[in-house]
A = this chain, B = another copy of it.
Amino acid sequence: MQIIRTVEDMRCFVKTAKKNEKTIGFVPTMGYLHEGHVSLMTHAKEENDCVVVCVFVNPLQFNDTKDLDVYPRDETHDVTVCKNIGVDVLFMPPVSEIYPQAMGITMTLQKRIGVLCDRTRPGHFSGVLTVLSKLFHITEPTRVYFGLKDAQQVAVVDLLIQDLHFDTILRRIETVREADGLAKSSRNVNLTPEERTMAPTIYCALKEAVQQMKQGIKTKQEVMQLVETKIEVETTGTIDYIEILSYPELEEVSELKGTLIVACAVNFSKARLIDNIIMTCNEE
């Protein structure tokens, strides 16, 4: 496995790969790799001639510089994970390679925001768009891999690719879960033992919501109430949001029709957990 730290060397690798007509699967991450990332890499490996993983903690997508300072990093661990999977290139540029100068161009979203996690992270997705545009230009991926656990990010990347005509295929990868259904996340270690036993309730509640939606008897409000009650009764967590929206447009729906996302965020004492299910309601 090659470890590359400069844009120039990365471009050089890409040029050679393209010349040899090799497809490139690209997995952009902020490091501290866990099973969710491994799933993205495994899919990328199956579907492409070579796999490029990026580990880059993007300062532009942090609203709070304190958050950026404490963001967990473990380069040795990340290198081992990538090697074990058989990644071809681990791209770990310093900030100065990706942001050699103060940005003079800002990319902002008019769609797919103002809901879900964007409510509490204004500007976050603007930073995501910018860094992904740069990384896509540097790695020229045939396919890019994102996990559906952050479903809003997937929706935003989908818009980026469509709106600016990026020539890459977006692969949306299913959320990886623990045996009891809890979505894998590096934040799970911040749950107390008691909270850890309660946390699978989130996914249970979402599954029940989906069942109710498929039956088509309850209204959107009733389904959201069901999720809310279950989480409030069965956990000590505080609900940040429960939303049912069209997907990937993330627009308000009056009826439970078409492809929808039911998503929630729950705050525990030291961990904020998010989860969602995307499903299609029967359309008559």
Contact with B along A162-183 (1 / 0, CB 8 A): 1111110000000000000000
One complex includes copies of this chain to the number of 2
Q: Does A103 contact B (CB under 8 A)?
A: yes
A130 to B138, CA, bound (A): 19
Contact among B21, B101, B109, B130 for A104, CB-based, below 8 A: B109
User: Which B residues are in CB contact (< 8 Å) with A5?
Assistant: none
Q: Does A277 contact B (CB under 8 A)?
A: no
Q: Is the interface of A mostly helix, strand, loop or mixed?
A: mixed
Given contacts A108-B106, A109-B104, A110-B104, contact A133 B164 (CB under 8 A): yes
A101 to B165, CA, bound (A): 12
User: Which B residues are in CB contact (< 8 Å) with A108?
Assistant: 105-106, 108
Contact with B along A1-37 (1 / 0, CB 8 A): 0000001000100000011010000000000000000
| 8 A-B residue pairings within 8 Å (CB atoms) | A18-B18, A100-B162, A103-B163, A104-B109, A105-B163, A105-B164, A133-B133, A134-B164
